[in-house]
Structure 1
Amino acid sequence: MGEGGNAGVNSTNTVKSVKAVPQRKDNSPLAAPSEKKGGQPDKDKKKDAPHPRMQFDDENRVEKAKKRSVVKQTESRNRVELFRHLPQYEHGTRLPDLESKFFQLNSVHPAVYKVGMQYLAGNISGGNNRCMAMLQAFQESIKDYSTPPEKALIRDLTAKINSYVSFLIECRPLSMSMGNAIRLLKTRIAKLPLSLSEAEAKASLVSDIDRFISEKIMLADKVIVKQAVTKIRDGDVLLTYASSSAVEMILLHAHELGKQFRVVIVDSRPKLEGQKLLRRLVQKGISCTYTHINAVSYVMHEVTRVFLGASSILSNGTVYSRVGSACVAMVANQFRVPVLICCEAYKFHERVQLDSICSNELGDPDAISNVPGRKDINYLDGWSNSENLRPLNLMYDATPSDYVSVIITDYGMIPPTSVPVIVREYGREYLWV
Structure 2
Amino acid sequence: MMILKTVPGVAGRIKRLEIQGATNIAISAVKALSQELKDFGGSKEEIDHVLTEATRMLVESRATEPMMRNGLKYIRSQLTAEAPSSRDSFKKVVTQIEERILEMYQGGRQHIMEIGAKRIRDGDIILTHCHSSAVTGALMLAHEMGKVFKVINTETRPKYQGRITSRELVEAGIDTTMIVDSAARHYMKEVDFVIVGCDALTSEGNIINKIGTSQVALAAYEARIPFYVLGTLLKFEPITIHGHYEAIEERNTNEIWADPPEGLKIRNSAFDVTRRDYVSGLISEEGLISPHSILEAIHRHYPWILD
TM norm structure 2 = 0.92
Contact 2:136 2:168 survives alignment (8 Å): no
Contact 2:6 2:36 survives alignment (8 Å): yes
1:406 aligns with 2:281: yes
> Could you list the per-position Cα deviations for residues 126-159 of structure 1 after superposition, in whole angstroms to 9, with x for gaps in the alignment?
11111111111112112111424xxxx3x64133
In the other structure, the counterpart of 2:147 is 259
Provide runs of 4+ in structure 1 moved above 4 Å: 355-358
TM norm structure 1 = 0.67
1:343 aligns with 2:234: no
Identity of aligned residues (%): 26
Q: Which moved more, 1:132-141 or 1:302-311?
A: 132-141
> Could you list the per-position Cα deviations for residues 262-317 of structure 1 after superposition, in whole angstroms to 9, with x for gaps in the alignment?
00112231111111211221122211111011111111001001111000111110
Give matches, 1:28-427, under 5 Å: 107-148=2-43, 153=44, 156-173=46-63, 175-193=65-83, 196-213=85-102, 215-352=103-240, 359-370=247-258, 381=259, 383=261, 386=262, 388-427=263-302
Counterpart residue type for residue 159 of structure 1: H
Deviation at residue 170 of structure 1 after TM alignment: 4.3
SS of 2:9 mapped into structure 1: helix
Deviation at residue 426 of structure 1 after TM alignment: 4.3
Inter-partner Cα distance in structure 2 for 1:221 and 1:357: 26
- Structure 2, unmatched stretches of 5+, are none
Whose Rg is larger?
1
> Could you list the per-position Cα deviations for residues 34-58 of structure 1 after superposition, in whole angstroms to 9, with x for gaps in the alignment?
xxxxxxxxxxxxxxxxxxxxxxxxx
Deviation at residue 352 of structure 1 after TM alignment: 3.1
Counterpart residue type for residue 408 of structure 1: I
Contact 2:152 2:179 survives alignment (8 Å): yes
> Could you list the per-position Cα deviations for residues 208-230 of structure 1 after superposition, in whole angstroms to 9, with x for gaps in the alignment?
112211x2111111111111112
SS of 1:352 mapped into structure 2: helix
Inter-partner Cα distance in structure 2 for 1:279 and 1:237: 18
Contact 1:192 1:201 survives alignment (8 Å): no
SS of 1:407 mapped into structure 2: strand
Inter-partner Cα distance in structure 2 for 1:289 and 1:324: 18
SS of 1:249 mapped into structure 2: helix
> Could you list the per-position Cα deviations for residues 214-264 of structure 1 after superposition, in whole angstroms to 9, with x for gaps in the alignment?
x21111111111111121111100110011100000110111111010001
Choose between structure 1 and 2 for higher RCO, CA contacts under 8 A separated by at least 6 residues. Answer: 2
Counterpart residue type for residue 232 of structure 1: I
TM-aligned CA distance change 1:111 to 1:290, over 3 Å = same
Contact 1:314 1:350 survives alignment (8 Å): yes
Inter-partner Cα distance in structure 1 for 2:41 and 2:120: 52
Aligned positions, number = 306
Deviation at residue 358 of structure 1 after TM alignment: 6.9
Inter-partner Cα distance in structure 1 for 2:246 and 2:282: 24
> Could you list the per-position Cα deviations for residues 49-97 of structure 1 after superposition, in whole angstroms to 9, with x for gaps in the alignment?
xxxxxxxxxxxxxxxxxxxxxxxxxxxxxxxxxxxxxxxxxxxxxxxxx
> Could you list the per-position Cα deviations for residues 9-44 of structure 1 after superposition, in whole angstroms to 9, with x for gaps in the alignment?
xxxxxxxxxxxxxxxxxxxxxxxxxxxxxxxxxxxx
Inter-partner Cα distance in structure 1 for 2:240 and 2:63: 19
Inter-partner Cα distance in structure 2 for 1:179 and 1:171: 11
TM-aligned CA distance change 1:390 to 1:358, over 3 Å = farther
SS of 2:264 mapped into structure 1: coil
TM-aligned CA distance change 1:277 to 1:356, over 3 Å = farther
- Structure 1, unmatched stretches of 5+, are 1-105, 371-380
Contact 2:210 2:272 survives alignment (8 Å): yes
TM-aligned CA distance change 1:171 to 1:419, over 3 Å = closer
TM-aligned CA distance change 1:402 to 1:367, over 3 Å = same
Higher fraction of helix: 2
Counterpart residue type for residue 405 of structure 1: S
Inter-partner Cα distance in structure 1 for 2:245 and 2:182: 22
Inter-partner Cα distance in structure 2 for 1:318 and 1:241: 17
Deviation at residue 198 of structure 1 after TM alignment: 2.4
Contact 1:246 1:309 survives alignment (8 Å): yes
SS of 1:340 mapped into structure 2: strand
